[in-house]
Structure 1
Amino acid sequence: MITDKLLKDGDKEAALGLQFSPLCDRKSTLVAQSQIGFIDFIVEPTFSLLTDSMEKIVMPLIEEASKSESPSFGTSSQNNLGALSNVDAQRRHNFRSTASDGVAHMENSLATVDLRSFRDNLMQIIQANKERWKELAVEGMIY
């Protein structure tokens, strides 16, 4: 955790008699509150921007893939990524063999990517993490 590094740096600076940042002060830093602030001001805006950017880049590709009648784009039933409910679905690569040349080809599943579910799933994970830190803050957890 980054907080560990900051607190260790603060300990070293204090031992040397140097001034140190409030986030490096083991005696006064409220870890849970600092984590909530980090999520609110860094994590959520960053991931929101990244998913917005991803949508702007990927949506035209998805539209193109859905218009294509090429078998290389697969069908919805063959490779639906859905809400990406587990790590396997996120990392999955679909391969198929063609009878004509016997070579395996990676299927392009852009036509079935559900960006809304991806965004919703990501935000649920971030919110769950923030709620966990809020519970720890209520319990008065400090380092």
Structure 2
Amino acid sequence: MKKIFVMLAAAFITASAWASPSPIENEKAQEAFKKEFSEAKEVSWTQKDGYYLVSFKLNNDWMLAWYSDNGDLQAMQRSIQPSQMTYLSAKTVEELAANKTLLNVAEISKEGEQFYLVKIDDDKCVSVYKIFASGDYTRISKTKKKSV
């Protein structure tokens, strides 16, 4: 479970890496994806750490899905705006991002749990927070900026 969460955070931080993934050959994952997301556009696949990841656009939302070898959906990520968050989680983002730059917000669904990953930039570091619908949060990574 922890490994999947670390992968979610890494994918969230490096979302731009999905520009040119290589095709995959897992038919079970592809069939499960086509069944679940038949209306998906701009689909691209890649493989990482034993999971099959598919990036796609659905209803004007960018999404990312993680599939296992046997075609089971392990996790979902959807890029959203803070206005699409629950009131308490959006309020937490507003407080955390005060006088800082909000870089991205992703809604994550994994193992029956739903939360948000929020990336915030300030003068000294870039932080990623895991925020729950209740507004509770944990900083899961902090990367210091290099001095110029």
The TM-score normalised by the length of structure 1 is: 0.21
Structure having the higher strand fraction is 2
Q: Which has the higher helix share?
A: 1
Greater RCO (CA < 8 Å, at least 6 residues apart): 1
Higher alpha-carbon Rg: 1
Q: TM-score, normalised by structure 2?
A: 0.21
